[in-house]
Amino acid sequence: MSHHHHALHYQVKYSNRKTLAISVYPDLTVLVKAPLGLSKGVIADIVQQKAEWIKRKQDGFAQRSRMLHQPQYISGEMHLFLGQQYPITLEQSKREQVMMENNQLRLYYRGLYDSTRIKKQLKQWYKEQAQFYFSQRLAICHQQAAILAVPLPDMSVRWMKRRWGSCSQKGKILLNAALIKTPIACIDYVIMHELCHLIEFNHSPAFYDLLNRVMPDWPLHKKQLNQLGALDE
């Protein structure tokens, strides 16, 4: 099920009850408790009617998660890159730059320390790395998904708060720069997901049939992404 082109996933648990109830949990999962015998079609209709409410609840949990895990951008703090945690080391310098060195993210900044500027500098480095790695992974995934028989799409990268990726009907793929913090397999999953959307634009059974063919273990990587929580800092 999708809501404004966002997939709305939920689990259904049947029991001896008279009414249907929908619960949204802090990990953003949705559980539908339904009476025995209630058809999947009726359940889907009710969930669709409550889609706005579900999205508000999920957004609220995501916001609280961001507040609880707000980075301070100080030396020694751990930050993700390609699924691994690395400490950042801050050093005043005449030239601003970020580099991976000796299993550390070394960040050189000019002038007085300013956490807002440090954050901006680190995010810019993340985006540059994302453009480099995502281009490579797109070429590899496109080759591995040759059965889709689609041209290699154009790709762009930007920071997004609500989705990991999207594609346009003109065949262009947009990826969230935050994916650079996740394992390569998760990046590949999002790319494969969007490549399948070039043929099936919605989340129909035909779409998932394609996804299963090009990446049978995609549910594992989707679960990893869900566990990572907030998309952007």
pLDDT tens for each residue of 79-105: 999 999 999 999 999 999 999 999 999
Looking at the domain assignment, is residue 45 inside a domain? yes
Instruction: Quote the CA–CA distance of 139 and 153 in Å, as a whole number.
Output: 9
Residue 158 burial (10 A CB sphere; 0-12, 13-18, 19+): exposed
Count structural domains, the chain.
2
Does the pTM surpass 0.85? The reply is no
Residue 101 and residue 179 in one domain: yes
Residue 54 and residue 122 in one domain: no
Looking at the domain assignment, is residue 189 inside a domain? yes
Residue with tokens 């059974």: 205
Domain that holds residue 19: 2-68
In tens, the pLDDT along 159-185 reads 998 889 999 888 899 999 999 999 999
Looking at the domain assignment, is residue 212 inside a domain? yes
Residue 46 and residue 161 in one domain: no
Looking at the domain assignment, is residue 165 inside a domain? yes
Looking at the domain assignment, is residue 217 inside a domain? yes
In tens, the pLDDT along 50-70 reads 999 999 888 887 766 655 567
Residue 59 and residue 114 in one domain: no
Q: What share of the chain is helix, strand, coil (3-state, %, to 5)?
A: 45, 25, 35
Task: Choose the final residue of a domain: 44, 68, 92.
Answer: 68
Looking at the domain assignment, is residue 117 inside a domain? yes
Residue 55 and residue 123 in one domain: no
Residue 38 and residue 113 in one domain: no
As given in the structure block, the two tokens for residue 147 are 């059965």
In tens, the pLDDT along 104-118 reads 999 999 999 999 999
Instruction: Quote the CA–CA distance of 94 and 135 in Å, as a whole number.
Output: 31
Task: Give me the pLDDT at residue 51, please.
Answer: 93
Task: Choose the final residue of a domain: 43, 68, 93.
Answer: 68
Task: Choose the final residue of a domain: 25, 49, 68.
Answer: 68
Residue 62 and residue 84 in one domain: no
Looking at the domain assignment, is residue 233 inside a domain? no
